[in-house]
Structure 1
Amino acid sequence: MFFLKIRKEGNMPTGLKRITIGLALFVGFALLIPSLLQAQPQRMSVEERVKMLKGSLKLTDEQSNKITTILEDMREEMTTAVKDIRDNPDSMKAIRREMMKKTDESIKSVLTEEQAKKYDTMMKERRPRMGRRTQ
C-alpha cells in the first residue's frame, strides 16, 4: 500500500501532462518547419561537384583542377549573365541551358573518351531531376 501511495503522489496532474505534451509537440514542429520549407535541394558547391565527379569518373588531380576552374568560371559567368534579367524567367532558363551545355562541353574536353561517355550517362540521369527544380 505504501508503494502505491508514493506512486500516486509522484504522478503529474493530468492538466500539466497535457500542457507538457502540447509544448513538446509545438517545439518539435517549430524545429521541423524550417527544414520542410527548404524542400528544394541546395545546389552543390564547386568543390562538392568536383569531388562527386572525381569519385564517379576516377579523375586525375590535373583533371580535377581543370574542372574546378571550368565550374568556377561558369558560376561567375552565370551570376553576371542573370543579374540583369532576373525578372524574365524564360530568358534565365535559356541562358542557364546554354551555359550548362557550354560547361558540359568544356568538362568533356578534359575527360578521356571513356570518362566522357560515363559523364554523358550521369548527366542524362540527372537532367530530369534538375529540370523539376527549375520549374
Structure 2
Amino acid sequence: MKKLFLICCLFVGLTTAGFSQPRSGPPSDPVQKAKGLQKELKLTDDQTSKIAGIYKESAQQFDKIKAADNGNTNKMLVDVGPLRKATIKKIKSVLTASQSAKYDALLKENKNASLNGGWSDGWG
C-alpha cells in the first residue's frame, strides 16, 4: 500500500513539475524576432536593426487593430491580413535575393507548422 501511495505521489509531483515549466514560443520582442531572423538568414547588423524597426512598427499597428476590434479574434484575423502582407514586403525589401528565398521557405514552414498544430509568430 505504501508503494502504491509513493508511486501516486511521484506521478503527481512529476506531472506538476512538467506543467510548471515555461512554454517557449515565438519571441514577442521585435529585437529578439529580428535576431532570430539574423541567425536563420545570416543578416548583417544593419539589416537586423532595420528588420527590428519593421517588427516594432508592425507590433504597434497590431496593438491598434487589437484595441479597435475589442479582442474579437475573427475580426482581428481579417484586419491583420494586410498588415502581415505589408510587413513581409518591407522585410523582403531589406533582404538580398538569396536571403529572400530562405525567408520564403521559413514563411512556408511556419504556415505549415501552424496548420498542423504548431506555432507561428503571426508575421511569417
TM-score by length of 2: 0.77
User: Deviations for 1:59-101, whole angstroms, at most 9, x for unmatched residues?
Assistant: 1111000000100111111011111314533221112221111
Map of 2:7 onto structure 1: 21
1:42 aligns with 2:25: yes
RMSD: 2.3
* Identical amino acids, percent of aligned pairs: 26
Question: What's the secondary structure of 2:91's corresponding residue?
Answer: helix
Aligned residue identity for 1:44: P
Residue 30 to residue 98, structure 1, CA distance change in 2 (3 Å) = same
Aligned residue identity for 1:74: S
Residue 22 to residue 124, structure 1, CA distance change in 2 (3 Å) = closer
For residues 113 and 82 of structure 2, what CA distance do their matches in structure 1 show? 18
Instruction: Judging by fraction of residues, say which structure has more helix.
Output: 1
Q: 2:17 aligns with which of 28, 31, 45?
A: 31
Deviation at 1:23, TM superposition (A): 1.5
User: Deviations for 1:90-119, whole angstroms, at most 9, x for unmatched residues?
Assistant: 221112221111100110111122222221
For residues 22 and 127 of structure 1, what CA distance do their matches in structure 2 show? 41
Question: What's the secondary structure of 1:59's corresponding residue?
Answer: coil
User: Deviations for 1:14-72, whole angstroms, at most 9, x for unmatched residues?
Assistant: x333322221122222223456xx6xx63323233212211222111110000001001
Residue 23 to residue 66, structure 1, CA distance change in 2 (3 Å) = same
Map of 1:10 onto structure 2: none
Unaligned 5+ segments in structure 2 are none
For the Cα contact (< 8 Å) 2:69–2:76, is it kept in 1? yes
TM-score by length of 1: 0.71
For residues 54 and 111 of structure 1, what CA distance do their matches in structure 2 show? 11
Alignment of 1:68-87 (within 5 A): 68-87=52-71
